[in-house]
Amino acid sequence: MQIYNEVPSSPLFFIFLVLLLLFPSKAMVDRGEYPPPTPRRFKGSIGAIIDYSSHIGKEEKIAMEMAIEDFYNTTNHRPFLHVRDSRREPVRAVLAAMDLINKQQVQAILGLRTWEETSLVADLGNRVHVPIISFAEATPPWASQRWPFLVRASHSQAAQMGAVAAIVASWGWRKVTFVYEDIDSIATNVIPHLATLLRKEGSEIDHLVALPPFASSSSLSQELVKLQSKQCRVFVLHSSPSLATRLFIEANKIEMMAKGYVWIITDSVTNLVHSFNASIISSMQGIVGVKSHFPQTGARFRDFSDRFRSRFRSDHLVEENLEPGIFAVQAYDAIWAVALAMEGRIKVKNTKNSKHQLGLEVSKGGQQLLQGILHTDFDGLTGKVCFKEWQSAPAHTFQIVNVVGKSYRELGFWTEGEGFSVSIDDGDSHNTSMRVLGQVFWPGGPWAIPRGWALPTTANPLRIGVPAKPAFNQFVNVKYDNVGEILSITGFAIDVFNATVEQLPYHLPYKFIPYEGIYDSLVEQVHLKVFDAVVGDIAIIAKRCQHAEFSHPYTEPGLVMVVTIQSKTSNRRWLFMKPFTKSMWTLTVFTNIYNGFVIWMIERNHYSQMNGSLRNQIGIMLWLSFTTLFSLQGERLHSNLSRMAIVVWLFVALVITQSYTASLTSMLTVQRLEPTVTDVESLRNSNAIVGCSGRSYSAKYLEEVLHFDPNNIKKIYSSKDYPQALRTGEIAAAFIESPYANLFVAKYCRDFAIAGPTYKIGGFGFAFPKGSSMVPDISEAILKVSESGRLRELENKMIFSSKCSNVSSYDDQGSLSLQSFGVLFVFTGGISTIALALFVFPMINWHLKDSIGAILTYKSMRKLILVLMKHVGVERANPSEELTIESHGHGANVKT
């Protein structure tokens, strides 16, 4: 096997070099500059075009040679391998391919790491029917359609962009800067795919930086300085290893590898980190990389790795790291795929080839070999080797590494459709966040998660616009001196923003600038880059979101109706029913009837008038039910059981009647305040004039959503005009944002009230340019201010200054419910039930009734009734009268 090294080429020598290839001199052959044709004793041969000056090319050459040797040991057929050096120059690659096809009569050509080389050689191979197996990652998907004999043996670059987007989303970074080598295939294939994936994760590409492949150190430094002046601190680098190493050396010099920066590299660089020397690695500390994954276990790979290191050490003594990477195992498997395909077409190798118009022979067996390669299916060092649609089966798993120390450490893996996992075998432990992989060492040495953006070091304070003439100056109040200079800018919105900035984990300089104009125009100034942000009572509505991005609202959203209230005396027809709830009335009536039934049941044998017809007995029972509620006078009870039930019910009745009287008295004497208008429909149907702020979205909402006639909408530009307009009847109602309405009603609580529903729109927030990196931080800080209680304190402070003392309204007078008297009803009902049970079942124990009767003696009953009457506040009309209890056998009568 020989290496083909030509002199540097240029377009001026192209024809001359072609002639040299077609007619080589004997001296060139003798010097080894041009190899002689391969003897025909070999049944097949394979060509390879690599960049032998790079580490990748050195790995590929050794791996290909080892693949040929291993294949020969297993099949007793050894294809001859011809290797040529292109030095990544397309013209040299074409000349090398012409030589391999014409002189060496190779059946297939492998290698070609760049798309520029691949496109030219693929066109040549397609003409002469020689399969071209390319290792170029930037091959566009349409290439195989144009050149059917082109087969891509490397994985698509777009596949790993899913891992990059997942890393960005894991840490909540909203913007990234994509730095790439200026190659057409990257711009047309990789960038759109990454942009789409980032949008799905809520992020986006902030800047695109295209670097020439052979950019000088000075030009790289200039580009980095430009990036350093921007806010975004998350960089994704997709380039060749040579460009990447030079870039990181310059970035380290200007301190862009320090704290706060994030660098993510793709597999084109990460796959070669193991081969970088110590000086380059020291400039890459803290970088997170996406690395192509292939199984590095098993006896076969260990044997390959040992032999590879030994061979690499003997051929390249200056190399520091000898571990085989993805490029070596890809080349090894590609040789095996071609060799296996050639084994299936030995009979057609000796077929005489026809001549192409370029003087090259057209391979008759090229189509068969191509089909054999495309149908390859075997277990290689990279895993399962097969081709789908003229390209290697796409990779679904990538390794995530972190450059630390002298090399890198393996954090874990990312699998398409599943997420991150610490081990490739942990099928059930995948997570959508990279945080599951553990601690990451970021640039600059800190373990803390970088924010992903920062203010430029040379940046001026943020220019924050505020409304100069707000609807309510309690939110923003701009004061001027006699000559028009600004004295102070205060208010609730200003206080909230100041408290929010205090919660940020970094210093944020800013200054407030008043703006004369309506609120929509103020928000638009952010889009026009007049202001960097807008702070104030700015409602968040869809129209304004076209020009700016809003933070989390710091007030409740909504539009409400404010109307005048009128005083009325509570003299409604059914007011006497109001002291008790329906359930309270129901239970009271039921208890009365039940107690009357118990008394009637027990006492009916002692009174002849309690007997008779059914109608008469029901009437007497109902009469007993309600007379016992107010008095026992005139009634003589003969049974101790009825006395027991009556005494308990008397106590409950006294409590209920006194409570009813007190509640009814309060309702009759206290005035209530009622709104004059209760719904929007009545206003709209009566063509009433309504008012709203002339500086906000309210007028448009009233017209388009609530369907008010535009002629019936009066725009008001100052909060001082609302009270007069409502009192004089100039407007029937005012539609005001909820934060304003709460403040307005607190100040004029005796005259105005909020009526009707709340229309959930708006809410006040801070406006920033669309896509601003500050929005997530400001929103998080607002939530911290709210959760700490600081926001409520500021709001109470604003409202307290205008708060008035309001009278109790009618609706605040709650009716008495069962919760207040439940225990009493249970008590009296239980006693009555026990009395009834003892009467109905006399065989239980007559002695128990005698014991109860003994308790209710003259003295004990007298004292008990006096105590009960005193407790419920009942006094005797004549204190000198003596309370007596007449006892007649088993009966008793209470008298005063």
Q: Is there a contact between 62 and 311 (Cβ–Cβ < 8 Å)?
A: yes
- Within 10 A of 831 (CB to CB), how many other CB atoms are there? 20
> Which tokens belong to 43?
């049944």
pLDDT higher for 12 or 735? 735
Q: What is the DSSP track for 10-53?
A: -GGGHHHHHHHHHS--HHHHHHTSSPPPPPTTSS-EEEEEE-TT
How does DSSP classify residue 189? I
Packing angle between helix 818-840 and helix 640-669, nearest 10 degrees? 160
Place of tokens 């209890």: 885
Looking at residue 287, what is its pLDDT?
A: 94
pLDDT in tens, 463-479: 999 999 887 888 899 98
Strand partners, 513: 465
Mean pLDDT of 362-390: 79
Q: Would you say residue 767 has pLDDT above 90? A: yes
CA angle (238, 240, 242) in 5-degree steps: 130
Q: Would you say residue 670 has pLDDT above 70? A: no
Whole-angstrom CA distances from 281 to 248, 326, 406, 407 are 9, 19, 6, 7
Burial of 147 (0-12, 13-18, 19+ CB in 10 A): buried
Q: Is there a contact between 334 and 387 (Cβ–Cβ < 8 Å)?
A: no
> Which tokens belong to 373?
């390669």
Spatial separation of the C-alpha atoms in residues 22 and 536, rounded to whole Å: 80
Instruction: Provide the whole-model pTM.
Output: 0.59
pLDDT in tens, 388-417: 766 676 678 899 999 998 888 889 999 888
pLDDT in tens, 685-720: 888 899 988 777 788 888 888 889 889 899 888 888
Looking at residue 816, what is its pLDDT?
A: 66
Whole-angstrom CA distances from 70 to 296, 307, 332, 369, 477 are 18, 11, 10, 21, 84
Burial of 229 (0-12, 13-18, 19+ CB in 10 A): exposed
Spatial separation of the C-alpha atoms in residues 70 and 77, rounded to whole Å: 10
Closest by alpha carbon to 269, among 295, 246, 296, 297? 246
Looking at residue 523, what is its pLDDT?
A: 92
Looking at residue 848, what is its pLDDT?
A: 52
Looking at residue 895, what is its pLDDT?
A: 45
Closest by alpha carbon to 281, among 249, 250, 253, 310? 249
Strand partners, 207: 177
Whole-angstrom CA distances from 636 to 557, 622, 893 are 69, 17, 5
* 556 φψ region: left (φ > 0), alpha (ψ -120 to 50), beta (else): beta
Amino acid present at 16: F
pLDDT in tens, 773-785: 788 889 999 999 9
pLDDT tier at 548, thresholds 50, 70, 90: very high
Q: Would you say residue 14 has pLDDT above 80? A: no
**Residues whose CB falls within 8 Å of the CB of residue 199, separated by 6 or more in sequence, listed in order:** none
Strand partners, 480: 486
Q: Would you say residue 16 has pLDDT above 60? A: no
Q: Is there a contact between 592 and 625 (Cβ–Cβ < 8 Å)?
A: yes
Packing angle between helix 90-102 and helix 14-22, nearest 10 degrees? 20
Q: Is there a contact between 761 and 701 (Cβ–Cβ < 8 Å)?
A: yes
Spatial separation of the C-alpha atoms in residues 841 and 835, rounded to whole Å: 10
How does DSSP classify residue 619? H
Spatial separation of the C-alpha atoms in residues 263 and 176, rounded to whole Å: 10
Least confident of 55-59, 255-259, 841-845: 841-845
How does DSSP classify residue 256? T
Spatial separation of the C-alpha atoms in residues 867 and 393, rounded to whole Å: 97
Looking at residue 514, what is its pLDDT?
A: 93
Q: Would you say residue 584 has pLDDT above 60? A: yes
pLDDT in tens, 235-289: 999 988 889 999 999 999 999 998 889 999 998 899 888 888 888 899 999 999 9
pLDDT in tens, 291-335: 988 887 778 888 888 888 888 888 876 555 577 888 888 899 898
Closest by alpha carbon to 60, among 69, 71, 49, 70? 49
Amino acid present at 488: S
Whole-angstrom CA distances from 780 to 85, 168, 242, 381, 441 are 57, 19, 41, 49, 25
Q: Which domains does the chain have, with CATH numbers?
A: 3-156+324-392 (3.40.50.2300), 157-297+395-437 (3.40.50.2300), 606-667+815-895 (no CATH)
pLDDT in tens, 594-630: 877 777 777 766 665 566 666 666 776 677 666 655 5
Mean pLDDT of 567-586: 70
Spatial separation of the C-alpha atoms in residues 461 and 649, rounded to whole Å: 79
Looking at residue 717, what is its pLDDT?
A: 84
H helix and E strand count, the chain: 30, 34
Least confident of 361-370, 371-380, 438-447, 513-522: 361-370
pLDDT averaged over the chain? 78
User: In degrees rounded to 5, what are phi and psi of residue 382?
Assistant: -85, 0
Whole-angstrom CA distances from 138 to 42, 183, 657 are 34, 9, 93
pLDDT in tens, 799-837: 876 666 444 333 444 566 666 677 777 877 777 788 777
Q: Would you say residue 722 has pLDDT above 80? A: yes
Whole-angstrom CA distances from 535 to 169, 522, 716 are 29, 10, 22
**Residues whose CB falls within 8 Å of the CB of residue 388, separated by 6 or more in sequence, listed in order:** 394
Q: Would you say residue 38 has pLDDT above 50? A: no
Looking at residue 610, what is its pLDDT?
A: 60
For the sheet containing 45-50, what is the strand order?
3-4, 80-85, 45-50, 108-111, 132-134, 150-152, 391-392, 383-388, 377-380
pLDDT in tens, 154-213: 877 777 899 999 999 998 888 899 999 887 667 677 888 899 999 888 888 988 999 988
Mean pLDDT of 541-568: 85
Looking at residue 377, what is its pLDDT?
A: 82
User: In degrees rounded to 5, what are phi and psi of residue 414?
Assistant: -125, 130
Least confident of 77-91, 434-448, 631-645: 631-645
**Residues whose CB falls within 8 Å of the CB of residue 187, separated by 6 or more in sequence, listed in order:** 180, 210
